[in-house]
Structures are given as structure tokens and as C-alpha cells.
Amino acid sequence: MNEKNTPCELCLSRKFSMFSGLSEEHLCNLSDNKNLISHKKGQMLFYEGTKPLGVFCVSNGIVKVFKTASNGKEQIIRLAQKGDFLGYTSLLGEDSYSNSAMIVEDAKICFIPKETFLNILAEDNNFHKRLTKSVCQSLGIMENQLTDATQKTIRERLAFTLIKLSDSYGVDGGDNRKIDLVLTREEIAGLVGTATETVIRLLSEFKKDELIKFEGKKIIVLDKKGLARLSDFYNN
């Protein structure tokens, strides 16, 4: 659903994005050409194999970026939140999307047309540098994920995933930290790269060991240090 565009200079999420340092001229250009669209949980933002027509910037909400294996199982690449860009690597590479994106929590997302995005990239050296740095960081994350997949056990990967979710989406509650994000067991399995049944069994074991507990569908981390030891975090 299209909504009235919030001017980019007034957007609260912009300070979290690579657009944070743009000049007034480029901000006005963005505001004039973008479209702010509301998306409901479960809606697809784009599909693997289709051609990008622009770039998506998350204003609020959560989007999962994933690949679908030949057996139909999802491997979640990352969870994008406010300020994050989506689809820009495929756009810059003049290639089809290498993955798909789906709304996990109701979201408002700005769509920036290809021509507008590339013009700003060509005219703003600082933005160009930030974008290049982001691409390099994304490659580094992918390398780490590949290393983890081959060298870490599933138990270690799940513990590390819970730590990262706690850091990114955690809400303080004294010594505990609630992951303020509802993910299905299938989605957690997609993040870890394993079977859903394995995640269900390991989460039950983590609960028994008092590392976590459940509040409805949400997970509360009780012992972050314990999870860190379990994930072999300090030895990486």
C-alpha cells in the first residue's frame, strides 16, 4: 500500500542508513522520486532470479533475505531492519536478484528507482565510499557464515545465532534479554542452516540448561555468557 512520502530530511530511520550524510540537494532528489510502501507480514518484497528496478530502504519493520535450496528449505542470509538497504548489490552488478526477501514484521519500505540511486552514487563521493565499505562488509559476513557452516557444530551455531539476535533485537529486562522478534522454528533453522526438528530439540535443551526461556513465541536469553561459551565465541 502506497503512503504519503515522508521527506527524507525528516525520516528518523535515515540516521541508521547510508543516506545519513547526504547533501540537502540529494535528499530533496530522493524525496521527489522515492515511494514509501507499507507491507504486511508474509508479503514478498522481491524474488530470486528477477531483475532489480531500484533499491529498497527499510524505514521500519523486519525483512528476511533468504535463498531457497533445491529441496525447498530456506537458508536465511540476514534479517534487515530500519536503515538497511536491500537489492543494491544486484543493481550495481547489473544482475538478477541472487536471493529473495520477505516481510517478517509489518514494514514500511522506501523504493528508490535505479536512475535516482545511481545518480546520487555518481555525484556523492562519501556515499560511494560508504556503499563500497558496506559491500566489502557483506562479503566478509558471507565468508564468516561459510566458515561457521563448515567448522562449527549446529549447537554452536544456534548459540551464536541467539546471541546475535539478542544483540540486534534484544529488550533489556534486568539480567535477562528478550528477543523482541517473533521467528518461527523454521526461520531459526534457516538462520542456523539446519533442520527444524534439530532446532526444536536444541532449544528445549537450552531451556533445560537455563540458558533461555520462552515467553509466548518469543525467546528470553537468561545466560548470555553461557551461550557465548557454548558457541565458542571467545575462541573466534
Query: Tens digit of pLDDT for each residue in 60-78?
Result: 999 999 998 777 788 888 8
- Residue 210's pLDDT is 94
- Residue 10's pLDDT is 65
Q: Kindly state the average pLDDT of the residues 220-236.
A: 79
Rg value, the chain, Cα: 19
| pLDDT for residue 141 is more than 70 | no
* Neighbouring-strand partners of residue 39: 107
Rounded CA separation 156/13 (Å): 33
- Residue 227's pLDDT is 92
What percentage of the chain reaches a pLDDT higher than 70?
Answer: 85
Give the pLDDT band of residue 234 (cuts 50, 70, 90). Answer: very low
Q: Do the Cβ atoms of 226 and 209 come closer than 8 Å?
A: yes
Q: Residue 158: which of 187, 181, 184, 192 has the closest Cα?
A: 192
What pLDDT, in 10s, does the model give residues 155-195? 999 999 999 888 888 887 656 888 888 899 999 998 888 89
Q: Do the Cβ atoms of 96 and 51 come closer than 8 Å?
A: yes
Record the cell numbers describing residue 233, joined without a space.
565465541
- Comparing 217 with 15, which gets the higher pLDDT? 217
- Residue 209's pLDDT is 95
Q: Residue 108: which of 82, 128, 72 has the closest Cα?
A: 82
Q: 185-192 and 196-208 helices cross at what angle (nearest 10)?
A: 100
Tell me the pLDDT of the chain averaged across its residues: 85
DSSP class of residue 7 equals P
Rounded CA separation 88/65 (Å): 13
Write out the DSSP string of 30-52: HHHH-EEEEE-TT-EEE-TTSPP
Q: Kindly state the average pLDDT of the residues 141-166.
A: 79
Record the cell numbers describing residue 76, joined without a space.
536465511
pTM: 0.75
Q: Kindly state the average pLDDT of the residues 81-109.
A: 91
- Residue 193's pLDDT is 86
Rounded CA separation 93/82 (Å): 24
